[in-house]
Amino acid sequence: MASIARCLRAARPALKVPVSRVCSARAFSATTTCNDPPTDALRKYTKEHEWIDLSADLKTGVIGISEYAAKALGDVVFVELPEEGKRVQAGDAIGAVESVKSAADINAPVSCKITAVNMLLEEKPATINQVPEDDSHGGGWIAKVSVDEQGVKDLDKLMDEKAYEEFTATEEEH
């Protein structure tokens, strides 16, 4: 994701609800609820507002854009999905989201290989606005990936949910 959260101020509705209170943000773990944050949560966020969920064995993951970014972008009218089978480095543009005349890059949070893409977004791009942090069937996740050692190392540079929440709160103040 591009650094949209700050730059699209004009299009952004007031966002006062912290990301962590949004149920869909936790959809990746069946055992967790909104009131009970996952203890095995390997969801991390980038400063550019992508998230990645990593499996417990650190081999596979799911990528998407954050609730905060989805709100900032406004109505998503098209999602350019990543290319299946492609290997990318952390920070590489893997796809794009179009909303309100803006094409915003989606970047790889870590080095990875794209193993599957969410075809639902081709038909229903607005899913990104509704459940951007849902990595289940019907959710707004963007791609599934496999991760190697480098990818796991890249994870260290990302923020956990709490840090990301604080980060977006600072962006709000600008």
Positions in the binding site for another protein (CB under 8 A): 2-4, 6-11, 48, 77-78, 80, 91, 93, 96, 98-105, 107, 122-123, 174
Instruction: State in angstroms the smallest separation of the CB of 8 from another protein.
Output: 6
Question: Smaller CB distance to another protein: residue 16 or 174?
Answer: 174
**Cα 19 → chain centroid:** 12
Instruction: State in angstroms the smallest separation of the CB of 90 from another protein.
Output: 11
**Residue 106, C-beta contacts closer than 8 angstroms, at least 6 positions apart:** 1, 50, 63, 65, 82, 93, 94, 95, 96, 97, 142
Question: Smaller CB distance to another protein: residue 105 or 165?
Answer: 105
Alpha-carbon distance 139 to 118, whole Å? 9
Instruction: State in angstroms the smallest separation of the CB of 83 from another protein.
Output: 11
Question: Smaller CB distance to another protein: residue 58 or 171?
Answer: 171
Instruction: State in angstroms the smallest separation of the CB of 36 from another protein.
Output: 34
- Lookup result for tokens 């599957």: 116
Question: Smaller CB distance to another protein: residue 24 or 154?
Answer: 154
C-alpha dihedral (117, 83, 6, 26), degrees to nearest 10? 20
Question: Smaller CB distance to another protein: residue 40 or 123?
Answer: 123
Instruction: State in angstroms the smallest separation of the CB of 45 from another protein.
Output: 14
Where does residue 149 fall: left (phi above 0), alpha (psi -120 to 50 degrees), or beta otherwise?
A: alpha
